[in-house]
Amino acid sequence: MLAEEHGFEVVSIEKEGGMFITIYTLIVDQLPYLFYSRGFINTARAFKIFLYPIMFVIGFIAYFLDKLDKDKDLTAQYECIFIKK
């Protein structure tokens, strides 16, 4: 709707990432934020530093599990291609 209002033609809109990547992203981004927002800054930093290798492996697994999610009903991002009219 916004693209068409500003003079663009919508060529395609594709879902990027499925359920597993979306859940992984929420955990990795939001969990440290919970600590930061409550004043536990050192805990948030420790979470990021010490759990990074574990989260990297979980992210790797989520990437491959995401290929099983064909519908991609739970997605956090879209790839949009527009052409200027």
Is the pLDDT reported for residue 50 higher than 90? no
- Give pLDDT, residue 61: 93
Dig out the tokens for 76 from the structure.
Answer: 């956090």
Element (H, E) at 31: helix 19-37
Kindly report the average pLDDT of the chain as a whole number: 87
Q: How far apart are CA 17 and CA 66, in angstroms?
A: 7
Q: How far apart are CA 31 and CA 55, in angstroms?
A: 12
- Confidence category of residue 53, pLDDT binned at 50, 70, 90: confident
Q: How far apart are CA 10 and CA 1, in angstroms?
A: 9
Is the pLDDT reported for residue 83 higher than 90? yes
74 CB-contact burial (10 Å; exposed 0-12 / middle 13-18 / buried 19+): middle
Is the pLDDT reported for residue 75 higher than 90? no
Q: Model pTM greater than 0.75?
A: no
